[in-house]
Chains A and B, each alone.
Chain A
Amino acid sequence: MAAILFGLGLAALLVRRNAIFTLMSIEVMLNAAGLAFVAAGARWGHADGQVMFLFILAMAAAEVSVGLALLLRLHHLFKSLDIDAASTMRG
């Protein structure tokens, strides 16, 4: 199940060109990784899996806040949410 969810997130990341969908698919992938950790922890009866999930949760929160701030800047600069608009570099 974790593998299926991760694959779906990866497919969404590759298919969709909207920046919001990119962030959402990253969420799905992180969630799938956390699910794998928790399932492994439950299988062997350890709390380590849940601890790793807490770390993943904190990382996802930090990543989403920075990603959404970047998205706002992108919207200011290009007036669109198409990530291909930002593919050219200056300099």
Chain B
Amino acid sequence: MLITFYVAAAIAIVSTVLMITRFNAVHALLYLVVSLLSVATVFFILGAPFVAALEVIIYAGAIMVLFIFVMMMLNIGDRATRMERAWLSPDAWVGPAILAVLLVIEFGYTLGSAGRAELAHETGPKDVALTLFGPYLLGVELVSMLLLAGIVGAYRLGSIRPEERESLDAIESDKQRAVIGGNLVRTGTGRTAGAA
């Protein structure tokens, strides 16, 4: 148990350090995924398989997808395609891939018959559910309220307000008017001078 635990912990810490020191946000995100996966492995070794599965599904799955969506919304157009070409270069994914392969090897060892005996005493989903819906029922209700507030808040912040859109449109048409007017004014002198 000790060796597998320390290997997973080392992978988590190394990938977190690498995440902090990246300049490209997507590279950092790859290292963050590896870090979360190794923490999930630590949970499994500590005898909490249910929580390990949730960590993979929700953290490494759902929350990371949210991050990636927002990054894609933020850089659109030419820059995005150029960056996409840069992401496919090997130095972007070799580091996270090596760490992830190490994790897979360790996970296979833990699941195999040799490592099976080394697992700590297991606290399964049944115990967790009994505790969650027994003494912690009030907490479950509070968390559901929090999630509802999160949904409403995200919707409210994510949608552009009507008055804001109006002002954006006004700015746009002002710009266009300035361009058109400038051309009309400039037809006499500037263009011919430039052509000559």
Contacts and interface: CB of A to CB of B under 8 A. Distances in A.
A-B interaction: yes
Interface in A7-62: 8-9, 11-12, 15-16, 18, 20-21, 23-25, 27-28, 31, 35, 38-39, 41-42, 45-51, 53-55, 57-62
B63 interface: yes
Contact of A76 (B151, B153, B160): B160
Contacts of A20: 25, 67, 70-71
Contact of A5 (B13, B48, B74, B146): B13
Instruction: State which size class the interface on A falls in.
Output: 35 or more
Interface stretch (B39-47, B106-114, B174-182, B187-195): B39-47
B171 to A, nearest CB: 13
Interface in B12-49: 12-13, 16-17, 19-20, 25, 28-29, 32, 35-36, 39, 42-43, 46-48
Contacts, number: 147
Nearest to B35: A28
Contact of A61 (B48, B50, B147): B147
Contacts of A5: 12-13, 16, 39
B99 interface: no
Nearest to B126: A47
B131 interface: yes
Q: Which of A35, A41, A51 has the most CB of B within 10 A?
A: A51
A1 B123 contact: no
Interface of B: 9, 12-13, 16-17, 19-20, 25, 28-29, 32, 35-36, 39, 42-43, 46-48, 50-51, 54-55, 58-59, 62-63, 66-67, 70-71, 73-74, 120-121, 123, 127-128, 130-132, 136, 139, 143, 146-147, 149-151, 153-158, 160
Given A51-B139, A58-B146, 10 more contacts: A38-B48, A42-B48, A42-B120, A46-B131, A50-B131, A62-B146, A65-B151, A66-B153, A68-B70, A70-B157
